[in-house]
Structure formats: structure tokens, C-alpha cells
Chain A
């Protein structure tokens, strides 16, 4: 196991993302941070706090659980447990900032966009991630990234919010 980012770096990374967000979205009347369950939720919470600390209006918050939108339901594996999707604001006319901890194949983001769309017609969707680990399988790119990692596809990348570190575990491949 390999810790690639420690507490200070993670704190710094979140702050940087928040300030880039505020700069990017200046002049946008209404936007919301939407965490992708489960990994994106703590980051979305922290970004909301940071944005407010920077003197900007606190954005709306919501979360999506993409289980029902996955493209890999028929795996014969135990069914994933459903989580709550909660978008407690009108999506139509709102700018949506999707938030996830790790960007990998892009399939999760595609599913999350599909889900947001079923709630309304957003003005735009942007994507913010803490870690981009590569190996995309879809034409998906993040608008803001705190840490880009070169990984092997079999590696496991974990953002541990309790210990506040980013770890890479080498896979069998």
C-alpha cells in the first residue's frame, strides 16, 4: 500500500478546487454541488464549506446514487444496495457541478449525468474530482482535478476521508 497524498496535501487540494470553482462559476446565478454516492459526498460537503469561506454564496447541495443507472447490473454478483438520491432544488435552470472522489473509466459519471437529466434540464453540468487516475473508457473529462495519477488499471485508488489520505494499492494485474 502506498500513501500518495497525506492530510496537508488533501486539505490544500480541496481548497484549491474550491477557489477554482468560485473563479470558474463567477457570474453564474444558481449552481449546485452534487455528490456522487458514496465517494463524492464528503468532497461535495467540504467544497460547499470552502466556497462559503471564500465569501461566495453557499451553493445548493444534492447527492445522486447511480445504482439504478449502472450499465453493469447483470453481473451475477450480489446486488448493490440502493442509496438515496436527493436533489432538493429545481434542477431545471440550475448549473450542476458533479463531484466524485476518483475519476476512472467514466462510466459512473455517464450514469450520474443520466440521472440528473431525469430530474430536469440543467443549464450545464461540470465535473470536479479529487483524483483522476486515467484509464477512461468513455469520452469524459473532469473540468477540475486536484491530483492526476498514473496508475495501472488493476490498481486500487482509495480516498480515505477519515485518515485524510489518498492511497494506491497495487492490483494483481
Chain B
């Protein structure tokens, strides 16, 4: 794989996705060892640069880097007042002066990771840019599915919730389509609009339409700041119409996988007994997240250097 950056899954060839997933499955074994660390990326510097709050994605990347023996550095930047473009480039120049090998960036503006990737020699991993993409999340979701199914061809994955504004949904839609799966989406009209037809998805209006046909149901997190505004009346109403509760789950296929990128709003988009139930793979997703990020760092880093005859 001759790739410097991971910006998104749109257009990524199937062979590359497969290579990342199979590497990740191997990387997971490192986490099961007594010493959960291998020397692969010793001396490499991975910087996480998060312009939006995130605990789990950032710590997952950092743990992945540490398990490969890379050094890690974390920048928490608030977006408050400064002009974003300028701040981003200036911050990046400062970090560049520290000679990092990779920057993991999350930014509110779509395209921010691409800008850095074009402008700097270090590898850039997109950890979420606006409503564009969040590729490492989709890769860990696909690893979780492939643990259960093997190949994803012909499988149906339902994505339910604010599909319109979800970078997790978009990356999954691109990745799953490439891997031969079918994606069905459902959500309130304001969150699942007609423009989605431009993507390789089938649009349905209610969760009840998708529950029965899905091999996996991916519930998106409802951003509470959107509740009570124009898009959504209330948490209770959302739960009633679009939440995955036990009652709805009983109408799903018996072997269905229930997924959620986290953090979950119990009782809103997902019922507590579903999140903790036997079909839930939510915590496997977390474990797989570390493995997928290890695989990404392994594939992206170390494109130059000394050549040894083993």
C-alpha cells in the first residue's frame, strides 16, 4: 500500500480496505499478550490534533500508537474565535517543526485534513472532519462485521439516525458499498433527506422498515444539542419513533448485530437493555478501534528509511 494519508473511504480500493482489516485482526492479538506492545514504530512521533472534543477516538489512536512503540503527543485546540484556516495552518507549521511522522486530526471543517495532507510531508489521518468522513470508525465497524460474517458481500447494514450530518455514516456508506454490502438508512426527514440519494444507499422513513431486513443495525448518536430545535422535537419523541428498544429488536433477525459508534445516549437512540444485550457488539467496536488504528499507523508510517537485508 503506497499511501501517505488516510482522508476518507470514498474511492479507496477494496484491496486496501481488505488489507487494513486483515492487518487489524492480527494487531488485535498484540492486545491479548502479556506485554501489549511491539517495537514496530519505535522512535516515530504521532501527534493528535483535535479541534473538537473527543475522548475515545483520541485515546484509541494514542493507545494504538503506544502499542506500536511510537511516541505520542496530544494537542487540544479549542476552536473559539480565531479564523480557522489561519489557525490550522499555523498550528500545523508549529507541529511540523517538531518533525512528526503522523498527525491525527479532528476538525469541524470538512477538508481540513486534506489541506494538511497537501501542505505537509507527514502522514495525515482524518479522525473526523465536519460532516465529511470518519474513516477509522468505519474501518473498525467493518472489522467488527467481518469478525462475525467473514466477507461483507451481500450483507445489509442499516444506519439509523442523523445520517445527514454523520461522518460516521458517510464513511460507512462508502466503505460498505466498496465491500459489496448494501446500506439502508432511516431517520427523521430532517436528518435523512432526499439528497442522500446521491450516495449508494436505500432510503427508508421509519426504523421499523429497516429492522427486519438488516444483518447489522448501526444506531447513530443523537446530538443532544440538536434536540428541542427545528430538527427534533424531544428525546422522548425521538426514542419512540427512531430508538432501538427491545420491542423493535425482537422483530430483527435473530443473529443481527447491534452497533453504535459511542458515546451512547441510553434511552434515546438505543435502549439500555439493547445496548447491554446479547446482540450488542458495541464494546467489541471499542477493542477493534485500537486494532484498526494500529493497522493504519503500520501501513501509513515508515515510507522511507534504511534498507536492510533481513
Residues on A lying within 8 angstroms of B by beta carbon are: 65, 68-76, 78-79, 81-85, 104-105, 107-108, 114-115, 118-120
Contacts and interface: CB of A to CB of B under 8 A. Distances in A.
B310 A105 contact: yes
Given A82-B26, A118-B34, A69 B40 contact: yes
23 contacts: A68-B38, A68-B68, A68-B298, A69-B40, A70-B40, A70-B310, A72-B306, A73-B40, A73-B305, A74-B302, A75-B307, A76-B303, A76-B305, A76-B307, A78-B2, A82-B23, A82-B26, A83-B26, A105-B310, A107-B308, A108-B310, A119-B33, A119-B34
Given A72-B310, A73-B305, A84-B26, 8 more contacts: A72-B308, A72-B309, A74-B302, A75-B302, A79-B1, A82-B22, A118-B37, A119-B33
Contacts of A85: 29
B302 A73 contact: yes
B39 A82 contact: no
A74 B309 contact: no
By DSSP majority rule, is chain B's interface helix, strand, loop, or mixed?
Answer: loop
A78 B15 CA distance: 13
Interface string B1-24: 110000000000000000100110
Given A82-B26, A82-B27, A74 B1 contact: no
A69 B310 CA distance: 11
Interface of B: 1-2, 19, 22-23, 26-27, 29-30, 33-35, 37-41, 68, 298-299, 302-310
Nearest to A74: B305
Contacts of B309: 72, 105
Contacts of B41: 73
Given A71-B308, A79-B1, A108-B310, A118 B38 contact: yes
B310 A107 contact: yes
B278 to A, nearest CB: 28
Contacts of A70: 40, 310
A84 B27 CA distance: 9
A134 to B, nearest CB: 13
A74 B39 contact: no
A114 B39 contact: yes
Nearest to A70: B310
Contacts of B303: 74, 76
A114 B35 CA distance: 11
Contacts of A118: 33-35, 37-38
Given A69-B38, A119-B34, A76 B304 contact: yes
A69 to B, nearest CB: 6
Contacts of B39: 68-69, 114
Leading 9 A-B pairs by shortest Cβ distance: A74-B305, A72-B308, A82-B26, A74-B302, A68-B38, A118-B35, A68-B40, A73-B302, A75-B307
B310 to A, nearest CB: 6
Taking each of B41, B304, B309, which has the highest tally of chain A beta carbons within 10 Å of its own beta carbon?
A: B309
Contacts of A81: 19, 22-23
A74 B30 contact: no
A104 B309 CA distance: 10
Contacts of A83: 26
Contact of A72 (B26, B29, B307): B307
A82 B1 CA distance: 14
